[in-house]
Structure 1
Amino acid sequence: MRPLGSGMQSRFVLAMGGAMVVVVAIVAVVLGRQAAMQDEVKSLSGSVIHELFDRSVRSRGEALARELSDALANPLYYNDLAQVGALVRNTSRQQVVRYVLVFDEDGKLIHDGSTEVIDFGKSMQDPLAPGAVAARKLVVQESPKVLDNAMPIMVGNQRIGGVRVGMALDDVQAMEQRANTTLGERLQQVGKRHLGWLLLMLGLLLVIGAMVIVYVQRTLVAPIRGLAAAARQIEAGDYRPQLSHNSRQDEVGELVRAFGRMSEAIARHDREVRHMAYTDALTGLTNRLAFREALDHRLMAARASGHRLGLLFADMDDFKRVNDTLGHEAGDEALLQFAQRISAAVAQAGGDEALLARFGGDEFVILIGDGDVAAGARQLAELLVRELSKPLVVQGRELFLGTSIGVTLFPDDAADATTLLKNGDIAMYQAKVAGKNCYRYYSRAMDHAVERRVHMEQELRGAWERGELRLVYQPIFRTRDRRMVGVEVLLRWQHPTLGTIPPSVFIEVAEQSGLIEVIGPKVLRAACMEAVQWPHSVDGEGMFVSVNVSPRQLRGGELPALVADCLRDTGLPASRLHLELTETAVIGDEMLAAALLDKLHRTGVKVWLDDFGTGFSGLSHLRQVPVDGVKIDKSFVADMQRDPDDLALTTAIIAMAHALGITVVAEGIEQEVQFDLLSQRGCDLAQGYWLSVPITATEVVEMIESGR
């Protein structure tokens, strides 16, 4: 390196000396201004702090008085002194609250937050009491030590009492004094700290001034050449070039470090992209893409070595019910717990080479290849069914879901990845058909079962037009006089070659395929057209007709318009049409359901909840989603006389529904003792085979005319 000339060095030293003199002068001015500023800040802050504390205590007192007035309305109206006391004590424990007094409309004390309430029923005698008792809106009174906020307690337009919240002004003044003292101490600390920093910076300037003389002589060529070589490595695909360590604090040093950070960021992003492409975002498991690639490689290796592979296709049972009733956040939490249990089971019984992946939704796939694959698959499937049938705790609730598992083997069942996955899916579906929460091995016969289901879906598409679908009616009776007051519409399918197909089979096919959105409106219109022709009963009342509505129809949002069109076109009075919705369909999205039910109510029809008690909801939800009636599920009715729990639950449902003004219907009555138990407990309506089997429209007319 070539040294600087003496003239340049002298001029540089003189320039640095002049700069230091200027800096010292600036420091002196800054220190003087800092002292003056501290005095000014103390003066202004004192008034600001006083205003803030005063405004805070006033606004807090008013807010507490308003909140307590609203919260105490119901407890005071129902004379719930325990609840009143709890609210008063909770507020009294808050900072700077001196007292909380609840009084009746005559100014007599009801509660002061104490356990005994010694002055209960006595008139308040303090100087501020008359103003508080006379308050018809928020009244704020002040004494030297207390800021009294009085607020009437209203139920509608009726004043049933009032509440006083006293804020301790002396405590506030003490807090204000402490704040001013703390502020002064902090200002002094800041001043000392600033002085230290200024002196430190001054020293650093002296050091930097000396170092600059050396830095101006250093070359830039070597760092730039190093960066150019690193750029060529990155261009060639090597995202981690070797850069020489550089501790320089100038622009070149920062450029070298920035270039190093950039190369690290590119390498990290490359890893993250690969991770995102091959990993499930929710569970962290291998995703479908990565699993398929791994499966192809494992199959290739298995063909070469003559080894067998086992694939387990697991699907959560009734997972959609979790999303519909508890929301998607709860669904994600359930999926995470589910994935953790599957991972633990695979680690325990799957072998070292087991691969677990989430295929999306609630589907998980496991590939095993160690030892006796058939025995290992059976052992793992049994473990999964056992572990996954245990309850999940989601948002404080126990959920019993279980899993359906399909097992298929290579090369026994398939020779390629696509067929192997398809066979696993088919076997899983058969496990669901078998009752869920079990496992099934793939067999050739399962292909025929899937074909039959597809065939049934195709046949169902034209069944209505061909006259294969017909309506029957399940009579509904009033319990107090056993008189028929309405009917529930049931759909039956008589296929010319397949024979009578159970509703549980073809309704599920219609739901899964979306055909229910076509069949449902036709059933509704046909039922209305039939019911409008029925005669009135002997007491002059018209029979109502109750029609089941699919959750798909409700979620589509077109149900209110469809109902209005049917009523207008058929002439059936709206009061004679009842709609039955499943509990999960209504509770799934309460805001949407409430809006749709409001539209339905404006048409004049009534809405019932079917199979009530089988979902995750409760009667509390009925306040948000108003319905006219609930149908107690037949599973409760069947065991009432043998199971005290079912009887107690049924009794509670009837009592609570009546308290909400909701009609209660019991279904599945097959014995007289069941009818008597329900009648004694005030159940309004009943239906079941003991009362009447489903009948045709002609038989409905005959029953009406005969007065039976």
Structure 2
Amino acid sequence: MKLRLGLQARFLLAMAVVLAVVVALLALLLHRQGQLHAETEALGNDTVHQMVEDYLHSRGHAVAEHLAVILANPLYYQDLEAIGRILRDNRRGDLIHYLLVFDREGRLVHDGTTEIDGYGWRMDDPLAAGAVAAEQTLSQSSPQVLEVSAPIRVGSERIGGVRVGLSIPVAYDYEQRNTERLGASMEELARRYREWLALMLLMLLAVALLAAMYVQRTLVHPIRKLAAAARRIEAGDYSVQGQGSTRTDELGELVRAFDRMSESVARHDRDVRRMAYTDALTGLTNRLAFRESLDHRLMALRGSDHQLALLFADIDDFKRVNDTLGHEAGDEALLQFSGRIRDAVEKYGGPDALLARFGGDEFVILVQEGDVRAAATRLAEALVAELRRPLDIQDRQVFLGASIGITLFPEDASSATALMKNGDIAMYQAKVAGKSGFRFYSRAMDHAVERRVHMEQELRGAWERGELSVVYQPLCRTSDGRVVGAEALLRWQHPMLGTIAPSVFIDVAEQSGLIEQIGPQVLLTACSEAVRWLPRADGERPFVSVNVSPRQLRRGDLPDMVARCLRETGLPASCLHLELTETSVISDELQASALLARLHSTGVKVWLDDFGTGFSGLSHLRRVPVDGVKIDRSFVADLQRDPDDLALTTAIIAMAHSLGITVVAEGVEKEVQYNLLVERGCDLVQGYWLSHPISAGEFAHLLAQGVR
């Protein structure tokens, strides 16, 4: 049974906790006060003792030096009566235990008594020798006496001395009395302190009890009444009478607000239901309402010859808008997309079409008019064309597009769940096929999805199992025909499936996020093997270029990872070239520029891969700090047949060279392609005509041969 704590119980519990904390603090204060009392008492005793010690020494020195002055003449003339009178006048109180006057031989002259016992006798007590021999004021002590002796002189001649004995027991008795008075005063002060603490604790308890009573009457009871009324409203009883309150505090405002709320709940019930079925941003039907409508329509169509089509439209690269321009720009893009989709549905979808936003950047359209396959095709073609047009967001043009998957009832499935699943699969296949297009669902897509999932599972751990390896495709310098470097390429040799094309498994790794684990391994392996490639006779070292995934670039830690690999392998930074795709760099120029600047500071070079296939590549070369561009193989393939490709390649080379950027052509498979690139000043080339990808050892052997 779950324990339920009401407001009053919580308040009392809170007060109890506060009181416990206060009591603990008071106990701590008392404990600390006791410690302070003991420390103060010890310090006071030490101080009093030191004061008594200082007083004894100062008093003894003062008396001895005073007597040494006033006894000079009486001692010189042996005036015993005057000496006795002086000694008796200075021996007042119990502190001075004895006063002794002696001559230069250490014989007693006077002791302040009338009998002068021992007159003329040499003093033989333990302190006598030191007093007789002292040329200046001397302090000595025994367990009972602190003695201060001073020589008596007439002029410069020493004629004797005086010994002043101060009683240590008398001084300690005085010290004890003062210590006891100090301790009594401190104990009285501590007692008053404890009484004040006890009084404060009692007052706190009283305040807590009064606060509990006040809370019960002014807060708990009214809130319990409100809770009872709220439970009735929860049960559907909207006829709850107003509580009414004349209070002017916050609780009175709460009661009156509750009254207003209970009156408006019924009135807003219909509006709330409507809101539950509408997307807040676009005003379109949401997932819940669409699913209910789809279930109703499928139920009505069962047993008839009518068909129905679902179109799943997902915006391509929408995350890039949120990441680069912010979520407000993302909302603006969604609003513009929803408006365009709504217009297309009204024009091509028919009167019974239903448009909904499923959340995020996914829209679903239901088409039920006439030949639904033809209608869905027309609508999909219109949507692809319409959504490909640029969006104007925050004074800039954004190109996105949409991928659309289409599924049919009852051809593909008969239930709403299966149709929605099929539409999602078809939309995913449209993205895989290159985005900005549409695909109809087919049974084969299920197998394709299963194969992709299976491939993802197999790819996990493939590096650890030794199935993944790195090969190197040489890069040749056109000016002298020498091999100056190589591009590191990843290969997968599966034990059951055989060799898997990089275009297949790299996409799986990118989509699943596994590339973030595999990419650093490839970079480390390439650096480790490249550091063993010997430099040429002229000292030029071969470089290795490594492809970097857009996911790795977006993480933001690429410079740190590269620096760590260079540090661990010892490869010079100038021998490492990183290849980034053009689209990954220009998708967020600010972040990319900052990362590339950090890479440049280490000496690493950066190339743009697949150059010419992005948005407006040449214009970005001025803003993104890169060292080289790799002309995409699609341009190189038709250099000798397509004048446009040749002209574009020539323009890229000229533009790059004007900016001081190296140009690399990939996919060179024919000698005529190589010659055309050499004529136009292309700096580096690679391709099957020069060499297929080879192992690190084979590439090292190729370098050792000095192949041109």
Task: Quickly name the TM-score band, shorter chain normalised.
Answer: 0.5 to 0.7
Q: 1:559 to 1:432 in 2, by over 3 A?
A: closer
Q: CA deviation at 1:451?
A: 0.8
The 5 A counterparts of 1:164-179 are: none
Q: Deviations over 1:409-466 (max 9, x none)?
A: 3344333322211011112223334454443332333222111110000000021112
For residues 250-298 of structure 1, what are the alpha-carbon distances to aligned partners after superposition, in whole Å with 9 as ceiling and x for unaligned? xxxxxxxx99999999899777755654333444322223322322333
* TM score, norm. by length of structure 2: 0.58
Aligned-partner residue type, residue 365 of structure 2:
I
Preserved CA contact (<8 Å) 1:469 1:492: yes
For each residue in 1:505-533, what CA deviation from the matched residue of structure 2 results, as whole angstroms up to 9, or x when unmatched? 11111011110000001101111111111
Paired letter, 1:297 = H
Q: Is 1:377 aligned to 2:355, yes or no?
A: no
- Structure 1 position 697 matched with structure 2 position 689: no
Instruction: Measure, in 2, the Cα distance between the counterparts of 1:593 and 1:303.
Output: 55
Give the corresponding residue for 1:490.
489
Kindly provide the amino acid, as one letter, of the partner of residue 467 in structure 1: G
Alpha-carbon distance in 2 for matches of 1:267, 1:665: 71
2:448 counterpart of 1:449: yes
Q: Aligned equivalents of 2:651 and 2:616: distance in 1? A: 15
Aligned partner of 2:286 in structure 1 is: 287
Q: How many residues align?
A: 463
Secondary structure, aligned partner of 1:351: coil
Name the residue aligned to 1:660.
659
Q: Is the 8 A contact 1:324 1:587 kept in 2?
A: no
Shift of the alpha carbon at 1:577?
Answer: 1.0
Q: Which residue of 1 aligns with 2:86?
A: none
**SS of structure 2 residue aligned to 1:611:** strand
CA contact (8 A) 1:538 1:707 kept: no
Q: Which residue of 1 aligns with 2:599?
A: 600
Q: 1:275 to 1:584 in 2, by over 3 A?
A: farther
CA contact (8 A) 1:667 1:688 kept: yes
Partner of 2:681: 682
What residue is the counterpart of 1:425 in the other structure?
424
8 Å Cα contact 1:323/1:588 also seen in 2: no
2:612 equivalent in structure 1: 613
CA distance in 1, matches of 2:581, 2:471: 20
- 1:490 Cα deviation from its structure 2 partner: 0.6
Change (3 A) 1:272 1:657: farther
Residue aligning to 1:523: 522
* Counterparts of 1:275 and 1:618, CA distance in 2: 48
Q: In 1, distance between residues paired with 2:474 and 2:642?
A: 27
Q: What is the correspondence of 1:447-486 to structure 2 with a 5 Å cutoff?
A: 447-486=446-485
Given that residues 307 and 372 in structure 2 are in contact (C-alpha distance below 8 angstroms), is that contact kept between their aligned partners in structure 1? yes
Displacement after TM superposition at 1:534 (Å): 1.5
Question: Counterparts in 2 of 1:108-257, with a 5 A limit?
Answer: none
Change (3 A) 1:338 1:555: same
- What CA distance in whole angstroms lies between the structure 2 residues aligned with 1:659 and 1:390? 32
Alignment partners' CA distance in 1, 2:272 and 2:602: 54
C-alpha distance in structure 2 between counterparts of 1:633 and 1:268, whole Å: 64
Q: Distance in 1 between matches of 2:548 and 2:490?
A: 12
Following TM superposition, by how much is the alpha carbon of 1:472 offset from its aligned partner in structure 2, in angstroms? 1.1
In 1, are the aligned partners of 2:406 and 2:423 still within 8 Å (CA)?
A: yes
Matched letter for residue 705 of structure 2: S
| 1:265-276 alignment, distance < 5 Å | none
CA contact (8 A) 2:309 2:367 kept: yes
In 2, Cα distance between equivalents of 1:619 and 1:440: 33
- Work out the CA distance in 1 between the residues paired with 2:499 and 2:586: 33
Q: Which runs of 5+ in 1 are unaligned?
A: 1-233, 240-257
Task: Name the SS of the counterpart of 2:535 in structure 1.
Answer: coil
**CA offset digits 1:483-511 (Å, max 9, x no partner):** 11111111111112222211111111101
Q: Which residue of 2 aligns with 1:562?
A: 561
Match of 1:630 in 2: 629
Deviation at 1:326, TM superposition (A): 7.2
Change (3 A) 1:633 1:323: farther
Moved more, 356-365 or 478-487: 356-365
Change (3 A) 1:541 1:271: farther
How far apart are the structure 2 equivalents of 1:496 and 1:510?
Answer: 18
Partners of 1:273 and 1:488 in 2: CA distance: 61
Alpha-carbon contact 1:633-1:667 (below 8 Å) kept: yes
Distance in 2 between residues matched to 1:512 and 1:266, nearest whole Å: 47
Residues 202-224 of structure 1, C-alpha deviations (whole Å, 9 max, x = no match):
xxxxxxxxxxxxxxxxxxxxxxx
Cα drift, residue 632 of structure 1: 2.2
Asked whether the equivalents of residues 612 and 633 of structure 1 are also in contact (C-alpha less than 8 Å), the reply is yes
1:3-402 to structure 2, matched below 5 A, reads 277-303=276-302, 308-319=307-318, 335-385=334-384, 387-388=386-387, 402=401
Which residue of structure 1 aligns with residue 191 of structure 2?
none
In 1, Cα distance between the equivalents of 2:274 and 2:478? 64
> How many angstroms apart in 2 are the aligned matches of 1:335 and 1:419?
27
Equivalent residue number for residue 531 of structure 2? 532
TM-aligned CA distance change 1:318 to 1:669, over 3 Å = farther
Change (3 A) 1:649 1:395: farther
Structure 1 residues 338 and 640, CA gap change in structure 2 (3 angstroms):
farther
Question: CA separation in 2, counterparts of 1:387 and 1:624?
Answer: 30
Q: What fraction of aligned residue pairs are identical, expressed as a percent? A: 76
The residue identity in structure 1 corresponding to 2:482 is R
- State the partner residue of 1:545: 544
Q: Give the aligned partner of residue 505 of structure 1.
A: 504
In the superposition, the TM-score normalised over structure 1's length comes to: 0.58
Q: How far apart, CA to CA, are the structure 2 residues paired with 1:333 and 1:634?
A: 37
Task: Sort the Cα spacing of 1:499 and 1:413 in 2 relative to 1 into closer, same or farther, 3 A.
Answer: same
Contact map agreement 1:636 1:646 (CA 8 A) in 2: yes
2:174 is matched with: none
Query: Which sits farther off after the overlay, 267-276 or 556-565?
Result: 267-276
Worse overlay, 605-614 or 291-300: 291-300
Following superposition, the deviation at residue 478 of structure 1 comes to 1.3
- Following TM superposition, by how much is the alpha carbon of 1:701 offset from its aligned partner in structure 2, in angstroms? 1.2
Q: CA–CA distance in 2 between the matches of 1:689 and 1:326? A: 42
For the structure 1 residues 453 and 522, does the alpha-carbon distance in structure 2 shift closer, same or farther, using more than 3 Å as the test?
A: same
Distance in 1 separating the partners of 2:275 and 2:392: 29
Per the TM alignment, residue 596 of structure 1 is displaced from its structure 2 partner at its CA by: 2.1
Give the corresponding residue for 2:406.
Answer: 407
Structure 2 SS opposite 1:422: helix
The secondary structure found in structure 1 opposite 2:472 is strand
SS of residue matched to 2:347: helix
Whether the 8 Å CA contact 2:582–2:617 is kept in 1: the answer is no
SS in 2 for 1:679: helix
CA distance in 2, matches of 1:526, 1:274: 60
Range with bigger deviation, 344-353 or 552-561: 344-353
- Bigger drift between 543-552 and 593-602 goes to 593-602
User: Residues 325 and 616 of structure 1 are in contact (CA less than 8 Å); yes or no, is this contact kept in structure 2?
Assistant: no
- Residue by residue, what CA displacement relative to the aligned partner does 1:9-47 show, whole Å, maximum 9, x if unpaired? xxxxxxxxxxxxxxxxxxxxxxxxxxxxxxxxxxxxxxx
Secondary structure at the aligned position of 1:311 is classed as strand
In terms of mean alpha carbon deviation, does 275-284 or 259-268 score higher? 259-268
Q: CA shift at 1:582, angstroms?
A: 1.4
Distance 2:583 2:385 in 1: 27
Partner of 1:589: 588
Matches of 1:270 and 1:261 in 2, distance apart? 14
Counterparts of 2:288 and 2:571, CA distance in 1: 56
